[in-house]
Structure 1
Amino acid sequence: MISHAAYFLTFTLDLIVYRCVRVACCSRLRFMWFTLMFLTVLCVALQMLGVVRQARLIIVKSQADNTVMCQPKKHIVFLKTHKTASSTILNILYRYGESHNLTFALPLNMHSQLFYPAFFAAHFVEGVRTRSVKEFHVLCNHMRFSSQEVRKVMPKDAFYFSILRNPVAMMESLFVYYKAIPAFRAVKSLEEFLIQGGRSYNASVPNNHYARNILTFDFGLDNTAPENDTELDRRSAEVIAAMERDFPLILISEYFDESLVLLKHALCWSLDDVSSFRLNSRSERSRRPLSAEIADRVKEWNSLDWRLYQHFNATFWKRIDSTLGRTKLQQEVELLRAKRRNLEQMCLQEGGAVDPAQVQDSSLKPFQYGAAVIQGYNLRLELNNDTRQLCQRLITPELQYTSALYTKQFPQLAAARAAAAKKIAASRNTATHRAVKRNIETNVHTAIVTMYEAQLI
């Protein structure tokens, strides 16, 4: 529009000058007319340049105003829930934090969890009691959430988010992974456990929290079963209200790629930042489909979890519709999947996950627990150093990555623990091994008893 206006003004001025020159030619004041016209044209031209420049500035400002400007979030709290693809989210946060020199609120004494299933307490974080860390950026290891205690550790502007999974698929996974807990140990199958009405379940027995409403439990809320529908309505409303108060974003595991796109926008990150491989994932041969009848029993058994999953699954899509829209979401999901395929081709020897027995580098083998077969990855052999470092971070299992970050943040403490571990390992070949082991077990037991007495567990 501005270019057309400038052209019109220029044409008009040319016409005026032409007519004035003709008049001047017929006058003895020819020279004066030429001088006057020259000055007039010069002034108008300068004014036009000013108008055009001002108009360009307006366009630039308008373009800037229409662009969503944001600063990447670096103060983050992620409540890592169980069997929800949360280990993959953890890896994303670890990689981003490491590449941006962020400080993690890591578990005390090089543990992988923040003394779960105890309610989180600020002093569970390494560096809090000693005040050796001035500022924590990311808190993301397993914990039982306590808003008051978390806020003692994390900055006021921290962004809180978590992830949920359909309780039906989640309980099938929990049963396989935690088969050794008292509630599951006495039965042969999940079907048997549910048909018996959870007869082997006792809420007061340690570790049985894995067997019922574990999502509600992880969020620091009462996971005991409601006695009737009225209580279920009231309790589920309270759980949802508490979660919405503390967590502005809840992701959904069944829509994992869509969740990553939503997370990318919420954190003001890039698609590269949230590109990832699945970690701590079971092989397909260890998965069992559940019948419709058993699925209904799971929903009834985990009634609180089922209610909150239904609610946040709905709000997940409402958020997408009110922000990105389905079309833009799908475009970004396709871009994210293309990036993942490129990373798989660049990094992985087999192009995908393999069973643990096939993982060639023992330092990259995922932890195996229960009856689950947790898969890992093999890297291509011909990678250069930079590419290998990038790819290795993508496939490093949770325990190994947590240990590496702890060593990086607390090198002296890590060295002391490594030295102690060597002494214990050396004692295995001596007569004192049993005494050393018994002493360690006694100390651990004493610590747990102390935590119980302090009502931390």
Structure 2
Amino acid sequence: MRSMGVFGLQKVNFVAFCFGAISTLFFCLLLFSAQNSTNKGVIQLRASQEYTRNSFWAPGVEIHKNLTETNIIRHGSKSDVLHFDEPIQTSTSHPTERTTSVLGPTCPSPGQRNIVCIKVHKAASTTAVAILERYGYKNNMTLAVKAETKYGPHILSSSQQFKRNMVYQYQRKYNMLTNHVRYNRAEMDIVIPNATYLTILRHPVKHFESAFVYFLVAKHLNLNGTDKIEAFFEKPDMYLSQKFYFWYQLQSGQIFDLGLDHHDHTGPKVAMLIQRLAEEFDLVMIADYFDESLVLLRKHLCLDWKDVVYIPDNFRTSGQKLSISRELRQKIEIWNWADMTLYRFFNHTFWNKVNDYGPTFKQDLAYFRKLLEDTRNECTTGKVIKKRRDAHGVRTIELRKNATEFCTNLMLGDTDYTKMFRNRQKETLYNRPQFWHN
């Protein structure tokens, strides 16, 4: 079999075994040093291109974090060592009756909280962003949009980091930024000041498979055979060098969207970025736990339950997804090592936030899911249909005839809401309708 980039597919099993042994020794030493630390619980988290399934390690690459903030590893028993692939369980000591979550006096009034949500490709971000835009539109918030729509009204840029001049009349300042563009905090703060920063991540194996199919990689690269992903991994470096359509999403595309260029995908730079993101983002949601993410989002933004309901849209059926074997999964994880590091870190902080939510989380989640079920029964027929005017074959759920305005709004996506914001703002904010190139 031909080589796979730096690692070589023939050596995958041997490499994984070696990393496993080294990582086990490393974490034993790390536990010992943490228990004997005189630095008040500060330890070093090492991250690198080389990793095993449950750990990452590279000599000389350090992130200094306080244990009470990240809980990467805690003082105490053996069970406190973090296993990233297992969600951390919430407390089981809940009251028998659901306690209604109270917004509290410190919550701002609707429309007063500025929001930036980094729309990571192929990570359920379209649904998450549509929820935010629906809330913002209802509360007369303003959305940072570009002047022209050549590549779609909802895309500031898919490959470039945000710059203020991407936004029409950026000097005005806006309440929201939710369209596709790569993260650049300094420039974003100028256009959307004092904002809450949000994003969403997806397990890199699922993300890679989704991007591979959606961006038609096999077609662009003329990959043959029954297993197109396996064909790609015969010589992935060579294929990636061809810079095909959306090539940058085929290797650690999520950390790329969050600001790190591919030539900077080194252990130290990945580690430094993750530390910075942990400090700068208020909430990193996880697409694999989407409902749980929305429960956290509702509480963080002080929203009503109906503000975060949704109807599944732009999804694929199980038969449309490519089969991923255990061996292929390992190749994808190694190829996307930077995204794996990113995902495992924020998957852990996500479950910490669940634990910090309080004793009503399970009841609130159950309440929310019942509300979702009731909403879907009210608004849709339940029939899965092919979405019209979509070349990717994604599916949606059929809306009932004579559906209410509330139901109709739930079916609107990011593109729809961006157009609605643009049309309203050109009349009420810009007063220059002749400027727009629709």
TM-score where L is the length of structure 2: 0.69
SS in 2 for 1:280: strand
Structure 1 residues not aligned, in runs of 5+: 1-65, 357-364, 422-457
Q: Is the 8 A contact 1:163 1:252 kept in 2?
A: yes
Change (3 A) 1:333 1:289: farther
Provide the rounded CA distance (Å) in 2 between the counterparts of 1:221 and 1:182.
27
Provide the rounded CA distance (Å) in 1 between the counterparts of 2:352 and 2:312.
26
Provide the rounded CA distance (Å) in 1 between the counterparts of 2:173 and 2:397.
34
Superposition deviation, residue 382 in structure 1:
3.3
SS in 2 for 1:300: helix
2:105 matches 1:69: yes
Paired residue for 1:404? 420
Matches within 5 A, 1:67-106: 68-72=104-108, 74-106=113-145
2:399 matches 1:368: no
Paired residue for 1:136? 174
Superposition deviation, residue 213 in structure 1:
0.9
Equivalent position amino acid for 1:127 in 2: Q
Change (3 A) 1:254 1:237: same
Equivalent position amino acid for 1:191 in 2: E
Paired residue for 2:250? 211
Q: Is the 8 A contact 1:117 1:144 kept in 2?
A: yes
Cα offsets for 1:13-43 (capped at 9, x unmatched): xxxxxxxxxxxxxxxxxxxxxxxxxxxxxxx
2:391 matches 1:355: no
Q: What CA RMSD, in Å, does the superposition of the two structures yield over aligned residues?
A: 2.6
Task: Name which one, 1 or 2, has greater alpha-carbon Rg.
Answer: 1
Matches within 5 A, 1:252-291: 252-291=286-325
Which of the residues 211, 230, 234 maps onto 1:174? 211
Provide the rounded CA distance (Å) in 2 between the counterparts of 1:224 and 1:186.
26
2:258 matches 1:222: no
Provide the rounded CA distance (Å) in 1 between the counterparts of 2:435 and 2:219.
32
Change (3 A) 1:270 1:321: same
Which of the residues 172, 184, 195 maps onto 1:158? 195
Paired residue for 2:350? 316
Equivalent position amino acid for 1:210 in 2: Q
Equivalent position amino acid for 1:374 in 2: V
Superposition deviation, residue 69 in structure 1:
3.2
Matches within 5 A, 1:320-399: 320-325=354-359, 328-348=360-380, 350-356=381-387, 365=388, 368-369=390-391, 372-383=392-403, 388-399=404-415
Paired residue for 2:275? 241
* Higher strand proportion: 2
Which of the residues 141, 164, 184 maps onto 1:146? 184
Q: Which has the higher contact order (CA 8 A, sep 6+)?
A: 2
Change (3 A) 1:152 1:317: same
Structure 2 residues not aligned, in runs of 5+: 1-101
Q: How many residues align?
A: 327
Provide the rounded CA distance (Å) in 2 between the counterparts of 1:172 and 1:277.
23
Equivalent position amino acid for 1:392 in 2: T
Paired residue for 1:199? 238
Q: Is the 8 A contact 1:213 1:302 kept in 2?
A: yes
TM-score where L is the length of structure 1: 0.66
Q: Is the 8 A contact 1:82 1:215 kept in 2?
A: yes
Provide the rounded CA distance (Å) in 2 between the counterparts of 1:193 and 1:102.
44
Paired residue for 1:115? 157
SS in 1 for 2:197: strand
Provide the rounded CA distance (Å) in 1 between the counterparts of 2:431 and 2:282.
36
Paired residue for 1:47? none
Q: Is the 8 A contact 1:166 1:306 kept in 2?
A: yes
